[in-house]
Amino acid sequence: MKITATLQSIFMICIGLTGCGGSQNNVTQSDVLIAPPPVINNTITLTGGRNNFTITRKQNNTTLNDAIGNEGLSDVSNASTLVFSDLRVNLGIANQLQKVSKAQTQALIELYVAYFNRIPDSEGLAYWMDQLINGKSISQIADSFYQAGLLYPELTGYSKDMSNADFVRIVYKNVLGRSGSTAPSDAEVTYWTSDIASGRQTRTSLVIAMLASARSLANDPSVGWVNTLLNNKIQVAQFFAVAQGISYSNPSDNITRTIAIANAITPNDTTRAMSLIGIKDLTFDLSVTAPESPRNITSTNTSSSISFSFDLPLSDGGSPILEYSASCSSGTSTLNVKGTTSPLVIGSLSANQSYLCSLTASNSFGQSSPSTTLNIVTGTGIASPPYSGDIVLGAPTDSSVRIKLLSSSQAGFVSINYGTSPNALSNQTPTKALLAGVPLEFQLDNLIANTSIYYMVNYQSTATNTATSSKIYDFHTSRSFGDTFSFTIQADSHLDENSNLSQYQRTLDNILLDKPDFHIDLGDTFMTEKHMGPFDAVVAMATSQSMVNDRYVYERQHFGRITHSTPLFLANGNHEGELGWLYNGSANNIAVWASLARQKYYANPLPNKFYSGDPELNQLTGQRASWYAWQWGDALFIVLDPYWNTKAQASKDAWNMTLGSTQYQWLSDTLSKSSAKYKFVFLHNLVGGLDGQMRGGIEAASFYEWGGKNTDGSYGFDVKRPGWSMPIHKLLVNNRVTAVFHGHDHVYARQILDGVIYQEVPQPSAANNTSGANLAKEYHYDSGVIQSSSGHLKVTVSAQGVKGEYIRSWLPGSETSTRKNRQVDDTWTVTPAQ
């Protein structure tokens, strides 16, 4: 009888293109021989089974090795199909994979699973790939699958007379793996049948919609296993039909065995399915291609060499990159170099010579096409000046650090060499373009924990000048338990009419001499909420993003005295401008400007495996990185932000000041889950404070969100903070916090309350160095050790205890026999809590 093209395509589904799975009933010869078999060209037939052979596939040839029999090693590069005694391998699918996207291939596999709960065989999958290549859509192919299912109701469960509800239940079983005890509820079935009844979906489009629904529920704890099951079926199908190119030797096996394989897959395991496939030659993979070429190539050169920095190819071709190669030619001379990482350096070149250069990447299959050719002229031998901008380190971890460079005048190319010895800076970052006035960030990764890391900045002013390296700096990755280390703290540098720049610089120089692992600034540093510029006596808020940026850039030159070797952590003060009562939800306000400037020019930590913190992604500021925590050695460090969530000023009601529920709960969780020997909390001022100006130390610690009392001394926490467990101070006491470091009051004050040290940190830049007693009285410090500014705090942590030291800074003209720069004016110690 004559078979139309449409019927042929439908019948082909049931011969091994779709297989009409869904049950494991026997398939008769008449069922599978209705349509002509697929046409197979360039076939090589072998006498042994597939596992007797290994297949090696390279870019230019494919070889077959008989590891058991007598057929030896054969070149099968021109074959499209290898016929073994137990199955066929469709070598030709490798070419089709280049014409169909990965998403389209996955969509076809999902149709096999959804309609027939089977994985495709390779020849069947290749047939539908051809249909896509020739213009059919996934929706049209899905309709063909459905029509084929109707022709074989005894195998598929589909019939023309079935209800929409029965159809939905079959798809739930095939797509979502839900039957029996996990079968869909009536409500779930009704949800989908109503879509068909209303005309919003056809049965064919409903299957595609249910596949998308399964994907959307990937993170749902109750039904996320459905997406995992679907992914596992796709993974096995990719191995079977794509990577291995398998079709079985007869159409009956193509149906029943692929159904059995699909039924063996669970959300938690694919090993049984893989054992049913039974292939031992796991290195063979028809989906592997040559990688793409390296991207974003930049070059720097000397008079005799060219260094190429690059990003990884967008695709590795399905197999790891084994090596990169750079090739440069001039006339008849060609030089090559190979390596496994960026950068690649070609040497022995001639000075002031033009070279045509390109890069390639190679994997186990072969080599990429060359990158875009670069025309590079080697240097004249003229050296670039050294990098003269500032360097700010931030967010150090056990294996990484962020480095932000900024130069007001230099432009060119920059890279960083680094290593664990100043004499062996063997690692190098990719080269990046530096623009004058624009911050440039590097991240050093794969560092060794608890180790001193040394680095230098290489600067090349033009493509023809040679690069010049900076002096060598160093920093330390996170410490191990029991290690001794120190950190430093400052607060309220201000740089306003009451500040002395030379005094501030003296303090920063003292901090560098301490060699701390890192430095914490407690805010009121950038001052854009109060002044338009540094040392401005006029109280006037910054009026533009550029004005705010200018102040954040200005402060880098001061921090830069230490931050080339000392990572910096920033806490917000009330004068930075990141204030909830100024944030109006629009981009044009100082709260947003200040947040963006801080993130642009500095490197506060974002939540990751090392740091915890604010998870919110604000639509105007992104992740703000204003409150965060980390462990370093035996100590837990917590930086708080009491401003962003405060929507009205404390001057109107001190209960207005708040961490907000998210930050409060994070603080509670961070403290309670930590087993650190010491716990430190840092913020600009206590949450609440006195006089409506957020003043004070332990005298303020009993009030408002911090201590729970109202102004009149009555307890108001439960009313003002319903649902919160306890005031902050009690939270600190219960979790054995060692010390709270705060600023705002411009004086040194050491106090203790309920076993918690409250340390007011002095100014580093005060013009008046004798005002401590007056400030303490004005701001209600009625007890404790009181000292005047200027200076900084150094804290040393060891397994035996914590030592805090107030290190004074005196300018040379102010020193006397009793006032010496770097003298220690107060010391305190704490032993581990028992």
On average, the pLDDT of the chain sits at 90
Q: How far apart are alpha carbons 198 and 191 in whole angstroms?
A: 11
pLDDT digit string, tens, across residues 708-751: 999 999 999 999 999 999 999 999 999 999 999 999 999 999 99
pLDDT above 70 coverage of the chain, percent: 94
Q: How many residues does the chain have?
A: 834
Name the residue with tokens 């280049």. Answer: 98
3-state helix, strand, coil in the chain (%, to 5): 30, 25, 50
Packed helices 545-559 and 501-514: angle between N→C axes, nearest 10 degrees = 50
pTM of the model: 0.66
Q: How far apart are alpha carbons 497 and 533 in whole angstroms?
A: 11
Contact 27, 19 (CB under 8 A): no
Parallel/antiparallel/unpaired status of strands 612-613 and 246-248:
unpaired
**Mean pLDDT, range 164-187, rounded to an integer:** 82
Contact 580, 643 (CB under 8 A): yes
Q: Give the side-chain half-sphere CA count within 13 A for 704.
A: 26
pLDDT reported for residue 40: 53
Q: How far apart are alpha carbons 681 and 663 in whole angstroms?
A: 13
Name the residue with tokens 């398998």. Answer: 246
H-run or E-run covering 309: strand 306-311
H-run or E-run covering 108: helix 102-116
pLDDT reported for residue 5: 32
> Going along 221-305, which residue ranges are E strands?
246-248, 295-301
Q: Is the peptide bond before 790 cis (omega within 30 degrees of 0)?
A: yes
pLDDT digit string, tens, across residues 417-470: 999 999 888 899 999 999 999 999 999 999 999 999 999 999 999 888 888 999
Q: Where are the alpha helices (DSSP H) in 13-75?
A: 29-32
Return the sign of the alpha-carbon dihedral for residues 547, 550, 554, 555: positive
- With a cut of 70, say whether residue 258 has pLDDT above it: yes
Q: How far apart are alpha carbons 387 and 461 in whole angstroms?
A: 9
**Mean pLDDT, range 319-341, rounded to an integer:** 95
Parallel/antiparallel/unpaired status of strands 440-444 and 401-406:
antiparallel
Contact 707, 654 (CB under 8 A): no
Domains and CATH numbers, the chain: 5-54+78-277 (no CATH), 295-377 (2.60.40.10), 485-830 (3.60.21.70)
Helix (H, G, I), strand (E, B) or coil at 107: helix
Packed helices 224-237 and 203-216: angle between N→C axes, nearest 10 degrees = 110
pLDDT reported for residue 21: 30
Task: Retrieve residue 282's tokens.
Answer: 């796991």
Q: How far apart are alpha carbons 204 and 558 in whole angstroms?
A: 66
Q: In this structure, what are the phi and psi dihedrals at residue 495, rounded to the nearest 5 degrees? A: 50, 60
Poorest-pLDDT segment among 27-36, 42-51, 265-274, 496-505: 27-36
Where does residue 317 rank: exposed (0-12), middle (13-18), buried (19+ CB within 10 A)? buried
Residue type, 68: I
- With a cut of 70, say whether residue 17 has pLDDT above it: no
**Mean pLDDT, range 254-283, rounded to an integer:** 94
CA geometry: angle at 46 spanning 44 and 49, to 5°?
A: 130
CB atoms within 10 A of CB 334: 11
Long-range residue pairs from 749-752, CB within 8 A, at least 24 positions apart, any chain: 749/697, 749/776, 749/781, 749/784, 749/785, 749/786, 749/787, 750/784, 750/785, 750/804, 750/826, 750/828, 751/697, 751/698, 751/781, 751/783, 751/784, 751/785, 752/698, 752/784
H-run or E-run covering 225: helix 224-237
Contact 278, 50 (CB under 8 A): no
Q: Where are the alpha helices (DSSP H) in 560-710?
A: 590-601, 661-673, 704-707
**Paired strand residues for 773:** none
H-run or E-run covering 362: strand 354-362
Residue 256 vs residue 2, higher pLDDT = 256
Task: Retrieve residue 460's tokens.
Answer: 């090349």
CB atoms within 10 A of CB 677: 21
Place 302 in a pLDDT band, splitting at 50, 70 and 90. Answer: confident
Place 23 in a pLDDT band, splitting at 50, 70 and 90. Answer: very low
Residue type, 302: T
List Cβ neighbours of 441 (8 Å cut-off, separation of 6 or more): 402, 403, 404, 405, 603
Contact 265, 229 (CB under 8 A): yes
Q: Which of 170-184, 421-435, 494-508 has the highest mean pLDDT?
A: 494-508
pLDDT digit string, tens, across residues 769-789: 999 999 999 999 999 999 999
pLDDT reported for residue 113: 86
Helix (H, G, I), strand (E, B) or coil at 628: strand
Contact 495, 765 (CB under 8 A): yes
- With a cut of 50, say whether residue 266 has pLDDT above it: yes
pLDDT reported for residue 148: 81
Among 464, 256, 431, 197, residue whose Cα is nearest residue 352 = 464
Place 381 in a pLDDT band, splitting at 50, 70 and 90. Answer: confident
**Mean pLDDT, range 496-501, rounded to an integer:** 96
CB atoms within 10 A of CB 11: 20
DSSP annotation of 447 reads P
Q: How far apart are alpha carbons 758 and 749 in whole angstroms?
A: 8
**Paired strand residues for 476:** 452
**Mean pLDDT, range 298-316, rounded to an integer:** 89
Q: How far apart are alpha carbons 433 and 384 in whole angstroms?
A: 15
Q: In this structure, what are the phi and psi dihedrals at residue 448, rounded to the nearest 5 degrees? A: -95, 130
Name the residue with tokens 């400052």. Answer: 490
Contact 786, 759 (CB under 8 A): no
Helix (H, G, I), strand (E, B) or coil at 361: strand
Task: Retrieve residue 439's tokens.
Answer: 């911050």
